Structure 1
Amino acid sequence: MERRIKSLSYIVFGNVLIAFALSTLLLENNIIVGGVTGFGRVLNYFTGINITLVVYIANVTLFLCGLYFMGKKFALTTLVSTFLFPFLLEIFQSQSIFHHYCRNVLLACVLAGLIIGIGIGLVIKANASTGGVDIIAIILNRKFKIPVFITLNIIDLCMLVLQMSFTSIINIVYGLIVVFLCSFMVNKTLTFEKQIA
């Protein structure tokens, strides 16, 4: 029971950190993002397909992959993030107290990368997922022992490269800062202490 409470607290706190940093640092400063959202942005630009639709379809597909490869327990813990994250994101976006406190874009990138990395690391440490591309990273880690942060790095870098054709160079640089700091903190968080069983 104690292990389950600890696992759930990691998932909740991790999602709080991710939603906070994404809403108040990245979106607030119009910093580009990787992952499923970045993929949706690319498809929207080249095809006109709605970003929300792309994200929804991608998340459902990845969730089913997680269920197939990782089992029901993993899928259930991922569902917690699936419903909790949008709720937290809405809270942070709707409350003015969380806005306009960091207008320095470089500082926002650094803080966001560090905070999101810790958040993702905590969720993965609890044998769960925030949904999206980290499901791919977790599956590859379990099946082929590829470190989670390396897979996340590669996917996010690919999304940034795809956005280069319609995004300014400075925004790409800011995106790279977020990606590298995030993957660094994911790795540090995962190796900080023994993973929850």
Structure 2
Amino acid sequence: MSKLLKNEELKNYLLITFASIILALGVVGFFTPNMIITGGTAGLSLLLYYITDLSIGTLIVAVNIPLLIVGWKYLGKMFAIKTVFTIAIISLLIDFFDKVLNIQAFVKDPFLGSIFGGIFIGIGLALVIKANASAGGSTIVAKIVASKSEIKPSTVIMVIDSFIILSSLFIFDDTARVLYSIVSIYVSSKIIDTILTGRLNKKVVYLVTNETELLRKLIAKQLGPEGTIIKGDGLYQDQEKKMILLVVEVGKLQVLRQIVKQNDPDGFLIITEATEMLGRGH
């Protein structure tokens, strides 16, 4: 193994450790004091914690071991090793913070607990993913199902989370806590998306116009030269069509609208979200 690869792996394990601390603090400081759950096997472990005398860390390991055994060959050696490490350190830290340090609730309010607990869990899981690992559970099941069928991993995870939430209805007397748990899962997913893809302030714009040459020059002069002209055939009698593809900062969208309005009233814009950008400049 090269020195560069070793350094990269060391960084990954340090990132996993940091992420595990955040995850453990989220569980101990926000979820358990307010009897809220999250998604995946962490949520299942919390449910079992509320009805048994076992520690959360013990339950996380107990729930994940069978899944790891079954899913080992689907994960890949390095990914599997880091996943085992992640599960082990999260379990140890949760019990350490809870039983040894006896950390008290950061907030005693189910709503605030669901929001900030979701933030902590989202940050932790996103950093684990960045380190090319997983916290086990639903990710393992999703990989197995996806490899054996055409079902998307995200669909499997959603089904598992829904099952856990529905199961909590039989444990919590207060239905509001179930709704708070849904809020926490939603917040976590948004935090994960934000960290992994970034909060882009740009939009993808498809400009359909008959004044391609004129608009190309004006756009390059006022917005910059980055863009692509796409050529194709229309549905009616193979009529030749041209479309300009652009990535535009949100603050400059109005400038683009004015350019099109003044120079090609028949042209129209299709504006979509830029959820992730990779490559030069990103």
The two structures have a TM-score, normalised by structure 1, of: 0.78
For 1:101, which of 101, 106, 109 is the aligned residue? 106
2:131 matched to 1:131? no
- In structure 2, what is the equivalent of residue 191 of structure 1? 197
SS in 2 for 1:184: helix
Q: Is the 8 A contact 2:64 2:137 kept in 1?
A: yes
Aligned residues: 190
Higher mean displacement: 106-115 or 4-13: 4-13
Change in Cα spacing, 1:154 to 1:187, as seen in structure 2 (3 Å) is farther
Q: Is the 8 A contact 2:23 2:120 kept in 1?
A: yes
Deviation at 1:191, TM superposition (A): 2.2
Aligned counterparts, 1:135-174, within 5 A: 135-137=140-142, 146=152, 151-167=156-172, 168-174=174-180
Deviation at 1:89, TM superposition (A): 0.8
For 1:3, which of 2, 8, 16 is the aligned residue? 8
Who wins on radius of gyration, i.e. which is larger?
Answer: 2
- In structure 1, what is the equivalent of residue 85 of structure 2? 80
SS in 1 for 2:137: coil
Matches of 1:57 and 1:105 in 2, distance apart? 27
Q: Relative contact order (alpha carbons < 8 A, sep ≥ 6): 1 or 2 greater?
A: 1
Matches of 2:44 and 2:106 in 1, distance apart? 28
- The one-letter amino acid of 1:107's match is L
For 1:63, which of 68, 75, 88 is the aligned residue? 68
The answer to which structure has the higher helix fraction is 1
2:100 matched to 1:90? no
Matches of 2:176 and 2:41 in 1, distance apart? 21
Give structure 2 stretches of 5+ with no counterpart.
Answer: 1-5, 199-275
- The one-letter amino acid of 1:186's match is I
Using the aligned pairs only, state the percent identity.
26
For 2:183, which of 174, 177, 180 is the aligned residue? 177
- The one-letter amino acid of 2:117's match is A
Runs of 4+ residues over 3 Å off in structure 1: 37-42, 50-58, 137-148, 150-154
2:33 matched to 1:28? yes
- The one-letter amino acid of 2:182's match is L
Matches of 2:120 and 2:106 in 1, distance apart? 16
Matches of 1:142 and 1:16 in 2, distance apart? 32
Matches of 2:24 and 2:55 in 1, distance apart? 18
Change in Cα spacing, 1:153 to 1:118, as seen in structure 2 (3 Å) is farther
The two structures have a TM-score, normalised by structure 2, of: 0.57
Question: 1:161-181 CA distances to partner (integer Å, 9 max, x unpaired)?
Answer: 122234221011111011111
Change in Cα spacing, 1:137 to 1:126, as seen in structure 2 (3 Å) is farther
Deviation at 1:82, TM superposition (A): 2.4
2:3 matched to 1:14? no
Deviation at 1:131, TM superposition (A): 2.1
Question: 1:125-149 CA distances to partner (integer Å, 9 max, x unpaired)?
Answer: 211111222323455678869465x
Give structure 1 stretches of 5+ with no counterpart.
Answer: none
